[in-house]
Amino acid sequence: MFMGEYNYTIDDKGRITIPAKFREELGTNFIVTRGLDKCLFIYPKLEWDNVISKYKELPNTKDARAFMRFFLSGASLTDYDKQGRINISSPLKSYANLNKDCVIIGVNERIEIWDKESWENFINDNEENLSDIAEKLFTVEYNA
């Protein structure tokens, strides 16, 4: 399980260091793709295979096709350089607005890379609602 928040910078060549705590669990080959909310998702290969198998079950609707195009067109199999960095392609850098300061977070089965300002905006925009969101997601109704 990935968890935690780390601050890194992306260099002019599009390289960013993945936290050492994440590298072991991520493995040597993994998938980087567009995520939701203007961030990037990184999946270990095995988890990616699970995600794709779920997508194969989706109906061939306009919405499913649009999402698959969005999600898969940016995906690439990636590995590390000798310094533990990965290279983010220009289209992915542009999509997530990654220019310099970034935040890398663990989100259970995946890693997300955010532009620092976008991450701070996300936290600020959602902070007041998190109690309500948690209550909706985790409340168990008991039948007496």
Is 144 contained in some domain? no
Is 75 contained in some domain? yes
pLDDT tens digit sequence for 119-133: 999 999 888 887 787
Is 104 contained in some domain? yes
CATH number for the domain that contains residue 40? 3.40.1550.20
Q: Please report the pLDDT score of residue 142 as a whole number.
A: 45
Closest to 29 in 3D by CA, of 40, 14, 45 = 45
Domain around 49: 2-138
pLDDT tens digit sequence for 33-53: 999 999 999 999 999 999 999
pLDDT at 144 over 60: no
pLDDT at 143 over 60: no
**Alpha carbons 106 and 4: distance in angstroms, whole number:** 5
Q: What is the pTM of this model?
A: 0.90
- Would you say the C-alpha torsion 8, 117, 37, 129 has a positive or negative sign? positive
Q: Do the beta carbons of residue 105 and residue 114 sit within 8 Å?
A: yes
**Alpha carbons 63 and 61: distance in angstroms, whole number:** 5
pLDDT tens digit sequence for 16-37: 999 999 999 999 999 999 999 9
Q: Please report the pLDDT score of residue 132 as a whole number.
A: 81
Q: Do the beta carbons of residue 111 and residue 22 sit within 8 Å?
A: yes
Is 96 contained in some domain? yes
Is 37 contained in some domain? yes
Q: Please report the pLDDT score of residue 136 as a whole number.
A: 79
Is 109 contained in some domain? yes
Say how many domains are in the chain: 1
